[in-house]
Structure 1
Amino acid sequence: MVLSLLAGLLLAGTVTTTASAEDGYRFWGYYQWTNGQWAFAQKGSDAVVPADGSVEGWRYAVGGAKPRVPRAAGDFEAVCGKTPAEAGKKRVALVIDPGTAADSGTGDAPPPASGTCVVTDVKATGAKILSAVEQVRIEKGLTCGIAGYPARGCGDPVKNIKVPATDEPVTLEIGAAVGAASTPSAAPTNSAQVPTEQSDDGAPWTGIIIAAVVVLLLAGGGFALSRRRAGQRA
């Protein structure tokens, strides 16, 4: 993926830099939580197969020689702790940080940072895990938009970037687990206990039966009346 090439350029320090200014890019960076900190991915998300218990991270930002990591820690327990493990599947915590208004390039406030527990097959790649949670816009092999953000643009170069030394941490909005086995509804436990008047399923048949009975009664009455008249004529 182009992401791998971009990562190589950033990590190699080939982005133009000077003592007072630096040029960079506005893009979605891909990270893994490793040894208590975020590490910039060495491969594209379609070539990474996270293990069970892993934490994947995405951050949209203006970055240069030093990547801008997600502003929330990769806390697996906070994201997946309430999601039970499933046989033959893996749980991966996914952190998505759309960055700040300054990162957006338009000044618009980005969506809040989120955390989602993804339960998927053991061979699922980072790309599959991301697409299981949000719609992804791909252009020329590069992840350009996540959940519609940003609506356009892809790895755009930025001149004379101003990167803060540190980012203020954020609290993730933890969403419902994706791909987990559904939990049966608590009510009602026995459908036979549901009163018939609460359901419209029987109403059409009731009407048909009543109409049929009326037709039979009318037909029977007519038949009796005709026999009586025939007897009178005789």
Structure 2
Amino acid sequence: MTGRAAGRGTAVLAAALAAVLLPVLLAAAPARAAGYRYWSFWERDGDRWTYATQGPATARPGDGSVQGFRFSVSADSADAARPRSGAAFGTVCAGVPGRDGAKRVALVLDFGTAADAPAGETPPARRTACARVPADATTAEALAAAAKPLRYGSDALLCAIAGYPQRGCGEQVSTAAGDRSEHASAPRDDDGGGPSVGLLAGVGAVLALGGAALWQTRRRGRG
């Protein structure tokens, strides 16, 4: 084989190695996705939470309803974290008697985890409250009765419940996939970062095979 032919063979081999290694190395890098830090609104339906189809300013729950709020970082409603409580109406509102012309709404307030908190803030412990409000009151009015202070953005987006968080409102953040334990679906390495030993071994094996093939190509070129 001539030197020119050997050079072409080396180039072909390099391209083949790149085609093999690039997807492997990309897989090793943590995927990043855009999300938003905000309060999501939920309704208790039997024994499960469902994402509310209306905002708290327009939803008018009936007497005996359970409404939930969860602060977290999520991309959309399908990705949003549910309140971490299955508290029943009878438990939350046990000490609040009914009254003519009023209704009782059980509120579940989950302030989220430290991973979802804005920098410098610590989420309060999650809690429940029973709001007794006029029969035609909205969920926002029930919140105002039981979880002040509330804070809203210029577009009427609910920014804070019971003063948390102190700042920010639906801001966009970038998170590495798997950072939040509730959304992690694959096991991680013991040190929590970097490519796994298995991945490095696989890359090493590919490089070793490529090196052997390159040596063979050069050997033939000298022959």
| 2:106 matches 1:93 | yes
- Segments of structure 1 that go 5 or more residues without pairing to the other structure are 1-18, 168-234
Find the partner of 1:69 among 82, 89, 93.
Answer: 82
Find the partner of 2:69 among 42, 58, 71.
Answer: 58
| 2:153 matches 1:139 | yes
**Residue pair 1:33, 1:39 contacting (<8 A) in 2 also:** yes
Alpha-carbon distance in structure 2 between the residues aligned to 1:26 and 1:138: 14
Find the partner of 2:143 among 113, 130, 152.
Answer: 130
Q: Which amino acid aligns with 2:104?
A: R
SS at match of 1:159: strand
**Residue pair 1:62, 1:163 contacting (<8 A) in 2 also:** no
- Segments of structure 2 that go 5 or more residues without pairing to the other structure are 1-29, 185-223
| 2:162 matches 1:151 | no
Q: Which amino acid aligns with 1:152?
A: R
Shift of 1:160: 2.6
Shift of 1:109: 2.5
**Residue pair 1:101, 1:107 contacting (<8 A) in 2 also:** no
**Residue pair 2:133, 2:141 contacting (<8 A) in 1 also:** no
Alpha-carbon distance in structure 2 between the residues aligned to 1:155 and 1:35: 29
Larger radius of gyration: 1
Aligned length: 149
SS at match of 1:130: helix
Q: Which amino acid aligns with 1:84?
A: P
* CA distances 1:153-178 after superposition (whole Å, capped 9, x unpaired): 000111134332369xxxxxxxxxxx
**Residue pair 1:38, 1:74 contacting (<8 A) in 2 also:** no
* CA distances 1:131-174 after superposition (whole Å, capped 9, x unpaired): 1111111112111111221111000111134332369xxxxxxx
Alpha-carbon distance in structure 2 between the residues aligned to 1:166 and 1:55: 25
Q: Which amino acid aligns with 2:180?
A: V
Relative distance call for 1:166 and 1:33 in structure 2 (3 A) is farther
Shift of 1:107: 5.7
**Residue pair 1:62, 1:103 contacting (<8 A) in 2 also:** yes
What TM-score do you get using the length of structure 2 for normalisation? 0.62
| 2:51 matches 1:36 | no
**Residue pair 1:33, 1:74 contacting (<8 A) in 2 also:** no
Partner residue of 1:185?
Answer: none
What TM-score do you get using the length of structure 1 for normalisation? 0.59
Relative distance call for 1:78 and 1:29 in structure 2 (3 A) is same
Shift of 1:21: 3.3
**Residue pair 2:66, 2:108 contacting (<8 A) in 1 also:** yes
Alpha-carbon distance in structure 2 between the residues aligned to 1:87 and 1:45: 23
Superposed CA RMSD: 1.9
Q: After the TM superposition, which segments of 4 or more aligned residues of structure 1 sit over 3 Å from their partners?
A: none
Moved more, 113-122 or 46-55: 113-122
Partner residue of 1:183?
Answer: none
Find the partner of 1:78 among 83, 91, 113.
Answer: 91
